[in-house]
Amino acid sequence: MVAHARAGIKPAPTIMAHQPVLYQEIIHALQPHDGGRYVDGTLGAGGHARGILEASAPDGQLLGLDVDPQALTLARKTLAPYEGRTHLAQASYTSLSAQLAQLGWASVDGIVLDLGASSMQFDTPERGFSFQHDAPLDMRFGPSATRTAADLVNRSSERELADLIYRYGEERDSRKIARAIVKARPLHTTRELVAVIESVSPRRGDRVHPATRTFQALRIAVNEELASIEAVLPQAVTALGVGGRLAVISFHSLEDRIVKDFFREQGRDLVNPPYEQIYEVERKATLKEVIRKPITPSEDEIKMNPRARSAKLRIAEKT
Ligand SMILES: C[S@@+](CC[C@H](N)C(=O)[O-])C[C@H]1O[C@@H](n2cnc3c(N)ncnc32)[C@H](O)[C@@H]1O
C-alpha cells in the first residue's frame, strides 16, 4: 500500500507486462481525476501515461512528450484506446511552456518526469547505450541531439573528457580513462571504448563494470540531461494550477540533487536581505513537498526489474 494514498482516489490500474518504474506510486502521487489535464514529459512506451488516462477516465486529457521517435511509435500503440484524450508530440520536455501554449492549456493538474533512458533504449543494441553490446557510439535519446557519443569521444580535448567523465560519471579514474581514450582514438564502437576503459581500469571482482560510469557520463553529456532538468522545473511550476502535482523519478544522485534542491528552494518564501529590520517577501513559496523523503521501489519491484534499484521519486504540490 502506498504511504500517501488517499481515500477516494481511483485505484491505479495494473499493467502486467513492462510495468514502468514506481507505477502505482506515480498514479497515487498525481491523483488523476476525471476532466483533469496531465503532462507526461518522458512518455517512453506510455506506461505511466496509460495509468494516468485510466485513472482520469472518462474525460481526463494528457499531453505526452518524448524526443525519441521510437518511443512515440510505442506510446501511440499503448495509448491508441485513449485517442481523443491524448496529445502526443516528438519534442523535448524543455519546450513544456511552448507545447502547453500550442494546446491552449493555461494550467495543468499534474506532471510526471521519469528521467533518463528507457529499457527499450538500453535494450536496443544499435542505440549504443549499453556496454554489453557492440554498437556505434551513439547514445542520443533523439535525433535533435547535436552530438553523438563518438563526436564527444573523438573531438573533445583530454581535459574536457576527463572533466566530463568525472563530473557526470563521478568516476575516480577519469584522468586515466581520458588519457587512454585520446591515445586510442578514433573510437567508433562501444566495444572499442569498453576495451580502452578496461585497459586502465580493470574489473574488480563483481563490483560495477568499470565502463558503467563513463557510459553514464557520455549519455548525460550527449543529451544535456542535467541542463534539461534545470530548464524544465521552473516551467513545470508555472504550468501547474494550485494543488497540481509534479512527480519526478530520478536514477542517479546528480539528477536527484537538482530536483531536491529545486523543491527545497521553491518551498521557501524568498525574503530580501534585512534592511532596517524590515523583511520583504520577494516571492512566496511556490511548491510544498508532499513527502520529504524520496519514495523508492519495493524489494519486489527491484526483484522484477533490477533497473528500478536506483530510482527515487520526489513529489511536490503547487501552493
Ligand atoms: C525512463 S523512460 C520513460 C518511461 C515511461 N515513463 C514509461 O512509462 O514507459 C525516459 C524517456 O524520456 C525520454 N527523454 C529523455 N530526455 C527527454 C527530454 N529532454 N524530453 C523528452 N523526452 C525525453 C527518453 O527518450 C525516454 O523515452
Comparing 5-9, 107-111, 240-244, which segment has the lowest mean pLDDT? 5-9
CA distance 189 to 160: 20
Residue with CA nearest ligand 1 atom 19 = 92
Res 4: pLDDT: 42
For 55-80, write each residue's pLDDT tens digit. Answer: 999 999 999 999 999 999 999 999 99
Is the C-beta atom of 66 inside 6 A of ligand 1?
yes
Which atom of ligand 1 lies closest to the CA of 92?
A: 20
Is the C-beta atom of 165 inside 6 A of ligand 1?
no
Is the C-beta atom of 48 inside 6 A of ligand 1?
yes
pLDDT band (50, 70, 90) for residue 9: very low
DSSP 274-290: PBTTB--EEE---EEES
Residue with CA nearest ligand 1 atom 12 = 42
pLDDT band (50, 70, 90) for residue 268: very high
Identify any residues that bridge with 35 across adjacent strands, giving them in sequence order.
none
CB atoms under 10 Å from CB of 69, counted, come to 10
First to last CA, the chain: 26
The residue whose CB lies within 8 Å of the most ligand 1 atoms, and thus the one to mutate among 25, 27, 43, is 43
pTM reported for the whole predicted model: 0.93
Give 92 Cα–ligand 1 centroid separation in angstroms: 9
Peptide bond into 186 cis (omega under 30): yes
For 146-203, write each residue's pLDDT tens digit. Answer: 999 999 999 999 999 999 999 999 999 999 999 999 999 999 999 999 999 999 998 7
Give 319 Cα–ligand 1 centroid separation in angstroms: 27
